Amino acid sequence: MRRSRVLIVDDERASRLVVASALEGLDLDVVSCASGAEALLAVADPPDAIVLDLMMPDMDGLELCRLLRSADATRDVPILMLTAHTGRAEKLHALEAGADDFLSKPLDRLELRTRITAICRLNRFRRVLEERQRLDSLVSLSPNAVLVVEGATGHICFANDRAESLFGLPLLGVPLGEVLGAEGVGAVARLLEQARSGYAAASDDAPWSVTRGESECSVSGGVVEWMGAMAVQLVVTDISALRRFEREVHRLERMETTARLSASIAHDFATVLQVCLVHLRTLSAPASPEASRLAVTEMQQAIRRGTQITRDLLGFSRRGVERPGGNCDAGAVVADVVRLLDALLPRTVRISVVAPESPCLVGVADYQLEQALVNLATNARDAMTGKGDLVITVRPSDDTEGWVEVSVRDTGSGIDPSVRSRIGEPFVSTKEEGQGTGLGLWSVMRMLEGAGGRWLVDTEVGRGTTVRMVLPPAVEGFVLQPA
């Protein structure tokens, strides 16, 4: 907190010096003004106390006092009026104008020091109280639950109204483990250990999740001082609505993708059936053994093609069922997605894949990576207006050992500079109205955030866009999911 400031307003230089010298040695800053006009400029940063002379030319102390009392910034600043008059009328006028107290000239230096010290102390307490009230109001009205946990006991010593309603029980004095479980206790212990060891950033940069009934919450925390002792403040955010929204977006995306696939697959199956019908006519009529063998071979290839299309579509729909985390081989998922993209994208889009032969295991569920690739590919198709090159690359990350980079590069129109800063925001789209929801890149970003990964977007208008997804290594304890 800054030092207390005292503003002296007196047209006589000698009087200002007398007041300033009387305040020497006190822990405060003194500012002097020679007129009311100067004082009005000086109170832009409101002082803790004003020592104001009653008799001044141009603007006397009474007029200045009234102006100060009419301004929001100085309405509550204590004003000590100085006057050479000792009459009852002058004192009453000063009090009516808004003065809090007055001293008669010549000044009693000790009395002045004592009164200014008391005024500044009370004003400092008033500011602290106002700040505390503002803070209490913000915490009480916060849509998030706020808890304070004693460092010595691990018991909850403060909980706002939102915390009480979210957890549905009185929380004061309750051990944290009964509310946030062993994970919450462990996180608080780590924060306290960091603080005790002198770690500067004793805060939880990676929020964790906790489930309470039907509510899913995100928890973050930091070390604070509470009642003179070390404590941990926790902020609990109910993210149930966000999770429901994400699941609905994911479901709608898969429905849209499946609908597009269905239209393309209907065409492919029509081709399969047409091939089979043509060769059945060949087999139903007298034909040479060579022609019969060729017909059977062509029919078998067509049927295999139809079987593969069916298998890919069924796999895509089954992987739409969310699982809690998982691992997958990024290269195998890309190979699987490319077969889907062959049906989803027009033939005028040339698809190529660059991937190592060895597995690239990542800590992302297969369905999540698959949907992200489909979203990026369809965005690329629209940016290329159905014609161009689409390159999907899988390779080890240059930045972090053990991580894998999966990139999707197109030769489309690129992203306009006015939109680049908002890439990944929900409902922000570069497409024409009605052509997209603006949720594709958002869902990709959310997937990466949930997995602890990150993305980089390189784009240039007229030259295309590259989206690089940097994925963390496989997580121990999860079984590798077949792509």
pLDDT tens digits for range 401-431 = 889 999 999 999 888 877 777 776 665 566 5
What letters, b where the CB count within 10 A reaches 16 and e where it falls short, cover 200-239?
A: eebbbeebeebebeebbbbbbbbbeebeeebbbbbbbbbb
> CA–CA separation, 383 vs 413, rounded Å?
5
Lowest-confidence segment of 87-91, 365-369, 407-411 by average pLDDT: 87-91
168-196 pLDDT tens trace: 778 888 898 888 888 788 888 888 888 88
**Phi then psi dihedrals of residue 454, to 5 deg:** -155, 170
What letters, b where the CB count within 10 A reaches 16 and e where it falls short, cover 359-385?
A: ebbbbbbbbbbbbbbbbbbbbbbbbbe
Domain 4-138: assigned CATH number? 3.40.50.2300
Distances (CA, A) of 274 to 267, 289, 293, 298, 302: 10, 22, 18, 11, 9
pLDDT of residue 391: 95
CA nearest to 65, candidates 90, 84, 86: 90
Domain 324-483: assigned CATH number? 3.30.565.10
> CA–CA separation, 247 vs 254, rounded Å?
11
Q: Is the pTM of this model over 0.85?
A: no
Q: Which residue has the higher pLDDT, 278 or 83?
A: 83
Average of per-residue pLDDT across 115-139: 76
Position 265 pLDDT exceeds 80 = no
Task: Delimit the domains of the chain by residue range.
Answer: 4-138, 142-238, 240-318, 324-483
Contact 353, 322 (CB under 8 A): no
Tokens 């990350």 -> residue: 397
CA nearest to 470, candidates 436, 445, 440: 445
pLDDT of residue 464: 92
Position 263 pLDDT exceeds 70 = no
Position 205 pLDDT exceeds 80 = no
Position 202 pLDDT exceeds 60 = no
pLDDT of residue 320: 47
Q: Which two tokens stand for residue 171?
A: 């929380």
pLDDT of residue 261: 60
**Helix, strand or coil for residue 100?**
coil
Who contacts 341 (Cβ-Cβ below 8 Å, separation ≥6)? 351, 374, 377, 390
Contact 37, 112 (CB under 8 A): no
> CA–CA separation, 450 vs 325, rounded Å?
9
- Please, what is the average pLDDT of the chain? 80
Q: What is the dihedral angle through the alpha carbons of 428, 245, 450, 218, rounded to the nearest 10 degrees?
A: 120
Q: Cis before residue 106, ω within 30 degrees of 0?
A: yes
Position 91 pLDDT exceeds 50 = yes
**Phi then psi dihedrals of residue 51, to 5 deg:** -100, 110
pLDDT of residue 135: 67
Position 25 pLDDT exceeds 60 = yes
CATH topology of domain 142-238: Beta-Lactamase (3.30.450)
Q: How confident is the model at residue 477 (pLDDT cuts 50, 70, 90)?
A: low
> CA–CA separation, 32 vs 36, rounded Å?
11
